[in-house]
Copies of this chain bind each other. A is one copy, B any other.
Amino acid sequence: MKHIAESTVRRLSRYLRFLEGEEELGAETISSDDLATLGGTTSAQVRKDLSFFGSFGTRGRGYSVPALARRIREILGLEREWRVVIVGAGRVGAALAQYRGFRERRFNVVAAYDADPARIGTSLNGIVVRDQRTLDADLQALNPGIVLIAVPPEAAQPIVDRVARAGVRGILNFAPTALRVPDGVVVRSVDMALELEILAYALTAAK
């Protein structure tokens, strides 16, 4: 498959949200123009995004809402369950562990780890926090598709190295630090402080 731009994948994911909303409202079909309006883009962009993966619409009618939703879920890899492990059960890690929106999308948090004895053994929505020293040995059995990292910045790289060595291929990092990963491992970062700074720039430059 030809390489798909991240911007396209991001929009597909948004289209899916809108489609699921429309599905609940009972809509049967939707046009690229409607999707564009909901998503703040243009109808040509919507059609181009979809065209990378095939042609799912009917000229004159638009797209079948349930069929397109299913197809996008398939494209994004959301038709399966994803096993997720959280490392770092502090404020961010605990929020992630308890977030219901993940489970709705079949991202199942199967374990959480921390280094702090005060946290180990506590329960987050039924997930008992384990000692990070057992992480490496546990990973074999847990076999997570994705690991979320919510530890302090200086602890993040060692965790990456450990989970990558155990065969984990996907990492979502919340620590504000750059991470090195071996080939074949995908790491993405959510950096809230960075987003604030980009916002500060936008407000400052807008004068």
- Give me the interface of A with B, judged by CB distance under 8 Å: 1, 4, 6, 9-10, 12-14, 16-17, 38-40, 75-78, 82, 91-92, 94-96, 98-99, 101-102, 105, 107, 145-146, 169-172, 176, 178, 184, 186, 188, 190, 192-206
Contact = CB atoms under 8 A, between A and B. Distances in A.
A85 to B, nearest CB: 13
B13 A198 contact: yes
- Interface SS, A side: helix
Given A78-B200, A170-B199, A188-B202, 13 more contacts: A4-B205, A6-B198, A9-B197, A13-B194, A77-B203, A77-B204, A91-B91, A91-B99, A105-B196, A145-B203, A146-B203, A170-B202, A172-B199
B193 A105 contact: yes
Copies in the complex: 2
A101 B186 contact: no
Contacts of A105: 193, 196-197
Contacts of A94: 91
A195 B107 CA distance: 12
Given A76-B201, A92-B95, A201-B75, A196 B10 contact: no
